[in-house]
Structure 1
Amino acid sequence: MSEALQSALAEALADLVTMIDTCDDDEALDQDMAVTWLESTGYILGRLSEADRRTLDRLFREAALRQEPGPYRDALLTTSEGFGLTLDVHAAQCDAVEDLGRRFVKTVQDADPATPVPTCPGWTLAHLTRHVGSVHRWAGHLVGTRSTTRVRAADLPLDLPEDPAAYPGWLAASAHSCLGTLRNADPDTGLWSPGGDPHVRYYPRHLLAELLVHLADAELALGGGPGPIEPSHAADGIDHFLSNAAHLPWVAEPIAQLGRDGAVLRLEAGDTGAVWNVTLGGGGFAWRRTAEGDATATVRGDVADLLLFVHGRYETENPRLAVTGDRGLLDAWRGATAL
């Protein structure tokens, strides 16, 4: 099912539910029957997976925010809550970070730390593990101190073991400490972040995106393919990458110099139907989830493969991807966004 169809169905359901909830004409609507309808619908939606519940919650909210401000939009915004779909996103992301962190440690703990990581040129598994642990310590420090000014990870003590073979255990301890700090923090608390969301909630989302990509780095380095990636996490990882890129000078400045105003890069997820349009121009770029308009170049693949593509882990020639249109635009974009 395409994302456009999902959005249309979610909007239609939200409208119907809101009209029923706000109808005060007993003659026009049998209230007992209305309650029965809504309870039956709630039961069906309650059987959805956690990932699907998050998706439907997002679609309901997006449908509401397309309306003009006022009582009707306010009522639409309660649709998810009425069906029990609202989740503690902060807690769920922390849980996902914990799960992926364990997978990372398990992947590297018995491997040779000197194993090269082809997707991170010049790095070994020891470098990769040190980086992942450093990011956990950095996030834990910023959230723990509620820092409102920039702090570089390189300026923090790492307490790194002398033997690289002990790095996986050090990472596990770093992740445990970081997650304890994140879980005890209010996600809406303001503090410095390198992206456009200066709040605590930025950090579990950032750690999740980091782990998704770096776990794939480790798996590829050890001769296998990337393990399974939850589609909703992969999609949010793409959103996170595009949201952050404009705030990172080493990415934003090369993009501003591309000189391809009006060119559109489209990412199409064949497994979920999600579509991203990235439009260059105005000294930068804009992006949104939509399939509207023409694309200059299109990359199609499963959403997990698109995540690895936008992070430079897959080349345009990768057989997991289908590329059409202006490859010069794709090469220019990849060069500008290389991390």
Structure 2
Amino acid sequence: MPLTTADEGNSSSSDSSASTNDSIDTLRPSESTLPTPNPWPQYFEQELFLESSSENQHAKYHVYLTPPRDPAKGPLFICHHGAGATGMSFACFAAAIKKEMPHAGILSLEAREHGSVVTSPSGEEILDFSIETLVKDTLAMIELVKQRQGWHKLPPAVFVGHSLGGAIVTRIAADGVLGAQLVGFAVLDVVEGSAIEALMHMKTYLASRPASFASVDQAINWHIRSRTIRDLESAKASVPSLMIRDGERWMWRTDLTRTQRWWEGWFTGMSGLFLRGRAAKALLLAGTDRLDKELMVGQMQGKFQLTVIPEAGHFIQEDVPEKTAHLMIEFFKRNDRSSLVLPPKVSDLLAQGKRV
């Protein structure tokens, strides 16, 4: 598939670490009034808490869902956020999907300690952020939603993963566990090589951001001023879900420093897995220089669709939600096998007495 470049903006991005540094160093002027948070019902029809127990753990998974009008036809856009984010990072994306394709469904998942809670049977914390465990959580959430909705099988789906979510999506697509119902998968702004390089800057970034805020409104304002998120409505939708109240202060819901020993394992081998994924593939990047050698070769061979959106930062789906939604809808339409009209078989034509 050829390289495509989305509409050019005034700003551009280079590698992931540069985007992170831009978020730290580039502050916009303070706004005169603080924004008001937007609640989840503005973007999704349902908020689900899905419980599952085994000998080793008890899980209470948290997801947001707008079911497709016809589960047999779909599409269902399944979304997985990045490290430190939540399912609400796809809120404005979900609204844009419904506006352009009203019959579509959107399922936005939340990882453990990002909204979902997973403990031992006795209620003790399980500290495990390995990619294998996160993949199991993701598949469990999808299956539980399918059961809750009474779907005979998963609707035709496009799986969209941002950053860490992209690594999870890639592994699931490479394993082929969703079968033919996975029409395609899309990875947003993460590539193995640059992701591993950017991990060196992660500790600096975490140490540089405020440890707490006096209010959720101030947290939203910080995300906009620091250009961590570049769209105000997206920040109003997603930032409140990132915070929890501790006394008179608002703290980060997820302590990413506790996940550090798993960081490299999230992305190692991702490029090869991406190219082996058993569905149509799309990669959306905020800069042109993020492809590693393996992906560059694959892109030149037409193995996946690459789109560059230079006006977006790392949180592509939040910075340009309408554009991201449009790209994903077109991606589904191009690869939806149910819409294909195959020519009749020669044997059928002969049986009808027709000449071939």
TM-score higher than 0.5? no
TM-score, normalised to structure 1, is: 0.26
Question: Which structure has the greater CA radius of gyration?
Answer: 1
Structure showing the higher helix proportion among its residues: 1
